[in-house]
Structure 1
Amino acid sequence: MNPFFLTLRKLTHSAYFISLVTVVLLLLMLVLGGVAYPGFLSLQVICNLLIDNAFLLVIAIGMSFVILSGGIDLSVGSVLALSTMITAWMLQMWHWPPIVVVPLVLVLGSLFGAAMGAMIHFFKLQAFIVTLAGMFLARGLCYLISINSITIDDPWFVSMSQSQLAFLDVFVSPGVVIALLMLGLAIYLAHYSEFGRAVYAIGGNEQSALMMGLPVARTKVMIYAFSGFCAALAGLLFSFYMLSGYGLHAQGTELDAIAAVVIGGTLLTGGVGYVAGALTGVLVLGTIQTLIAFDGTLSSWWTKIVIGGLLFIFCLVQRIMVISAGKTSAPSAIAGKA
């Protein structure tokens, strides 16, 4: 077997193992929390994890496709903030109806991402630099609109903010339903569509994807357009959650999204991972925050410390697996030739 494909197969098994470890880690934290703190394992507390992190899940979904393609998108947090500002500005200053504002914000987010994707591919620029520039640009545009927070009092947005969808004696917000629907769509796109297969192929080896005749240019632009769409959608969900637009919203969210994707089992080298891992990654981050909140004696900064340590461990394990897969594939390839 070709050494590249043998290595890729080994890495896929490794990614599955990491995803399984993440699920076990999540269950372990929930069990320990339930033992230490009464009421921690109540179904409503679990639902609250999704309510508080619905916007992060949507961003992590978009980030999963970017990382699977071997790229990175540092602009998503700023695009989220810009989306809240544009939404609040159009609703409060221009008095446009939500039926116009919501699609327009999603289109603008998609175009912003597509522009970055085009620059990355056609000008052969590093994704890190292009999306870093996008991060500064989007955050700066927020302050061109207003340096202050803009309150949203549109009746439909207020209704979405206050709505509670009840089931099994608990409730979730409409944002949770939207985020889970996006997750289902993303899983379908990643594993059952030509677009998803092209994403994995580009992340595995872009030159091989070109030789196979895959539409690399179109796919890369679509990947970043989808990430921008997810960031804009997350901005709308954040607007429901906060009922305001503000340039300081979601600072550092892009790093939380990357952490969730990596902890969920997607390799930073690209080509290997599962979009569904974004959900378990987000839930792990949310559970850490909830455990610290239930404890009450620890500073909120411990959340960042624990997440940082956890991310360091997962990155180290990924690197070890990549090296191990590369070493074990070489003797096998030699044996096959012999």
Structure 2
Amino acid sequence: MANIFTNLFGKKENRQPLSNTSLLLLITICIFVGMYLLGIIIWGGGFRNPQQFLDLLNNNAYLIVAACGLTIVMITGGIDISVGGSIALITMASVVFMEDHNGGILSSILIALGIGLAMGLIQGYLVSFLKIQPFIVTLAGMFFTRGMTTIVSTAPRTANNELFLDLKDFEIDIPFLGTWARNGNWIPSYIEVGVVIALVVVLLLWAMLRWTRFGRNLYAVGGNTESALMLGINVRRTQFFAYVLCGVLAGIAGFCYLLHTGAGNASNATAAEMQAIASSIIGGTLLSGGVGSVIGTMFGVMSLKTINNLVVAAGLREPYWQSITTGLMLAFFIVLQSVILSQRKKKLGNMAG
């Protein structure tokens, strides 16, 4: 982010060419802002309500965390389609533990992290050390976790633990944002606990990718495996810990999902892995690896949900319209990324020549 502002507003002599990651991040942010302003200008109404904007975060905090995990893996050139199943298993196991075994919040958090860590360790080992295709490994993980969710409980379960419900219903008011009710009372906007968790995760991952050796290794492995090996990077270990981190983030995402819904269900987080992948791509992460940003992924999630809100505001309330627009939006971003990066590569090549 600092590199972007330096290039946009800094002195000309201090400006440097934006990296591919920064360029795609800038494009994502501009498109999100443009779409939201379009909603305000054309439809107004809810788009002018600060709470509707914050609900993009409240309703999708878990997806932001899960998509950040996908971004880490995709930067290395991998993929993980098991995160939705992991979230469903985590919510069901946590609720059953609290309701049937008098478990507490801390124990439920440990269960969530434990399930996510276990999936990350197993899948990471199979992908990085046994060299099995990531899609096959995580597809098996998706089926396994969905099946295990049903084994834990076939019926939907609701959490009734008092301390958990207090945490679930806790709202952080933002006094300077809100709306006036018809009776003249000021109603402040709010965010949920899950949003705070998601924002902290995004900031920590952004710092890790930007300033740590492990973060630089992730980009190097995804950019060119052979070059990474020549630089002395342990490619297998880097890939392994990328999947472990993705698993842990799936555990955090699962608990955020539970904090938002308060229920365990075999159908929880259906297609969450596809939405997470789409959000990462929209946020500027390349499927080929080497390019990506968790800040962009967060804006990718918000862009994906904003386009759905625009479709509903336009009167197209049938679910298939949201699927169609999501598909078109994803295709647009893939083509846009391809065109921009190819033109950029050609331009840099001409400059070098």
TM-score (norm: length of structure 1): 0.90
8 Å CA contact 1:148–1:246 kept in 2: the answer is yes
1:278 maps to 2:297: yes
| Counterpart residue number, 1:130 | 137
Match of 1:264? 283
Match of 1:55 in 2: 62
CA RMSD, Structure 1 to Structure 2 (Å): 2.0
- CA–CA separation in structure 2 for the residues paired with 1:325 and 1:110: 39
Partner of residue 257, structure 2? 238
Residue 328 of structure 1 deviates from its aligned partner by 6.0
Q: Which residue of structure 1 lines up, in the alignment, with residue 72 of structure 2? A: 65
Q: CA 1:200–1:256 in structure 2 vs 1: closer, same or farther (change >3 Å)?
A: same
Question: Counterparts of 2:139 and 2:152 in 1: how far apart (Å)?
Answer: 21
Q: Name which of 103, 107, 119 aligns with 2:110.
A: 103
User: Given that residues 265 and 277 in structure 1 are in contact (C-alpha distance below 8 angstroms), is that contact kept between their aligned partners in structure 2?
Assistant: yes
1 or 2 for the larger relative contact order (CA 8 Å, sep ≥6)? 1
Alpha-carbon distance in structure 1 between the residues aligned to 2:235 and 2:316: 51
| Matched AA of 2:115 | L
2: distance between equivalents of 1:182 and 1:66?
Answer: 15
How far the C-alpha of 1:281 sits from its partner, in A, is 0.3
Indicate the SS of the match to 2:60: helix
Match of 2:38 in 1: 32
3-state SS of paired residue (1:40)? helix
Structure 1 stretch displaced more, 212-221 or 316-325: 316-325
Task: Tell me whether 1:21 sits opposite 2:31 in the alignment.
Answer: no
Contact 2:308/2:325 (8 A) holds in 1: no
Partner-residue secondary structure (3-state), 1:71 = coil
Which residue in 1 is equivalent to 2:318? 299
- What residue in structure 2 maps to residue 87 of structure 1? 94
State the distance in 1 between where 2:351 and 2:135 align.
35
Specify the alignment match of 1:314 in structure 2.
333
Show structure 1 runs of 5+ residues with no match. Answer: 1-9
- Separation of aligned partners in 1, 2:99 and 2:248: 23
Distance 2:17 2:130 in 1: 30
Alpha-carbon distance between aligned partners in 2 of 1:11 and 1:132, rounded to the nearest angstrom: 39
Equivalent residue of 1:125, what SS? coil
What are the ranges of 5 or more consecutive residues in structure 2 without an aligned counterpart? 1-15, 177-187
Is the contact between residue 202 and residue 209 of structure 1 (CA under 8 Å) also seen in structure 2?
Answer: yes
Q: C-alpha deviations, 1:242-272, integer Å up to 9, x for none?
A: 1111111111110100111111111111011
Alignment partners' CA distance in 1, 2:36 and 2:124: 39
Relative to 1, partners in 2 of residues 1:331 and 1:58: Cα closer, same or farther, differing over 3 Å? same
CA contact (8 A) 2:86 2:115 kept: no
Cα deviation for residue 320 of structure 1 reads 3.4
Shift of 1:187: 0.4
Q: Distance in 2 between matches of 1:231 and 1:284?
A: 21
Q: 2:172 aligns with which of 162, 165, 181?
A: 165
1:330 CA drift (Å): 6.5
> How many Å separate the matches in 1 of 2:117 and 2:146?
16
Deviation at 1:205, TM superposition (A): 1.3
Aligned to 1:228: 247
Q: How far apart are 1:324 and its partner, in Å?
A: 4.6
Moved more, 321-330 or 88-97: 321-330
Question: What letter corresponds to residue 90 of structure 1 in structure 2?
Answer: F
Does the 8 Å CA contact 1:37/1:294 hold for their aligned counterparts?
Answer: no
Aligned to 2:190, the other structure's residue is in SS state strand
Question: 1:171 is paired with a residue of what secondary structure?
Answer: strand
Q: Work out the CA distance in 2 between the residues paired with 1:112 and 1:275.
A: 21
Q: Which moved more, 1:207-216 or 1:223-232?
A: 207-216
2 CA distance for matches of 1:41 and 1:19?
25
In 2, Cα distance between the equivalents of 1:302 and 1:112? 34
The match for 1:4 is none
1:121 matched to which residue of 2?
128
